[in-house]
Copies of this chain bind each other. A is one copy, B any other.
Amino acid sequence: MKTAITEMFAIEAPVFAFSHCRDVVVATSKAGGFGVLGAAWMTPEHLEQELKWIDDHIDGKPYGVDMVFTSTASDISGSKNPREILPREQVDYINGLMTRDGVPELPQEEVDGWYQDYAANLSFTQPESEALFEVAMRHPVRFVVSALGIAPPHVIQRVHDAGLKFGALVGSARQAQKQVEAGVDVIVAQGTEAGGHTGDVASMVLWPEVVDAVAPVPVLAAGGIGRGRQMAAALALGAEGIWCGTIWLGTVESELAPDMRDVLYAARSADAVITYGYTGKPCRALRSKFTEAWAAQEAPEPLKVPYQSILSGEPFRRAERAHRKDWMTYAAGQVVGQVNEPKTVKQVMYDMLNEYLETTEKLNTILEA
């Protein structure tokens, strides 16, 4: 295949895999696509370890790193016990519901120690982002992506000076234009059907709008893509490649735990709902008793970023320990309805490209008539 993106990164197929799992990153790049490691939640030490592993296994194929550059994040790294900075009302609401529903509590001493570690990873200040960026730049990454926020000029300059590309996720044409003005080389336009933090405009409308707004800067289409027909639709809408996340969660290579895999395979498209309970911002995740608790009329207001994420860690871990699938949730897009069994990353890629070919052929027969 040949698009502006396959040319830019010298890859066979313009299929980008966003994943928190290094095995998925390696497998997609080796299958002719391009793996991007989600690093925002990692400490610099953890990221160093993951990139080292990737370098040792990826056979020199290109890959990227995704992080956040937000200027508004609260610095919570200095808090003695992060649980104590959370308002009791919200903590007691969700944990009380779980207790009444028979989900065992965690031992208190474990909770305290674990909150401390967990919260440290959720502190997205500029110095922390730059520390992650420094780690990435010591490895042969080819693509640095901002999942949130406009990166400082010196960061984008460093990327360009090293001959690499900088990308940014957006949910609107206006955000896309601002990122391009900041020097971004590739826009990832993400429709509302995507997993995780997402805007209101659907991919069908958003992608051509963004493509027109930033041309000739190439656009990767994100949100709602997991098979060849959707890939063909994305390229028809003007994208030069695709960016998928949800579709890799259920692969053999994914590190998702068995219980969560069951939840994922069972979910239908309409089960990927917008919730404020996950992080405090609109985030698409799998419907469960947890998401419904925060959508209930009697629910207290979810906390602001990053406090709601800190708060949600304990209920998530309780559900996990007790194998309570009815309380489990995970950030996922509406394509989750297409993820019903474990497949290798290679098989997912093969099926997708095969259906893409069939689709292009079918479109030609419509016109030949």
Contact = CB atoms under 8 A, between A and B. Distances in A.
A205 to B, nearest CB: 4
Interface string A340-369: 000000000000000001011011111111
Interface in A314-338: 333-335, 337-338
Given A229-B237, A230-B204, A270 B172 contact: yes
Contacts of A192: 192, 202
A38 to B, nearest CB: 22
Given A209-B269, A229-B237, 15 more contacts: A193-B204, A201-B270, A202-B223, A202-B224, A204-B225, A205-B269, A205-B335, A205-B338, A208-B229, A208-B230, A232-B233, A233-B233, A235-B362, A235-B366, A236-B359
A48 to B, nearest CB: 37
Classify chain A: how many residues form its interface, as a range: 35 or more
A280 interface: no
Interface string A302-319: 000000000000000000
Interface of A: 1-3, 172, 191-193, 199-206, 208-209, 223-225, 227, 229-230, 232-238, 269-270, 273, 333-335, 337-338, 357, 359-360, 362-369
A202 B209 CA distance: 17
Contact of A334 (B202, B224, B235, B273): B202
Given A270-B172, A363-B363, A367-B357, A205 B224 contact: yes
A4 to B, nearest CB: 10
A202 B199 contact: no
A364 B369 contact: no
B232 A204 contact: no
Given A1-B366, A360-B363, A202 B202 contact: yes
Contacts of A369: 1-2
Nearest to A361: B367
Contacts of A333: 205
A206 B272 CA distance: 13
A362 B4 CA distance: 13
A366 B3 contact: yes
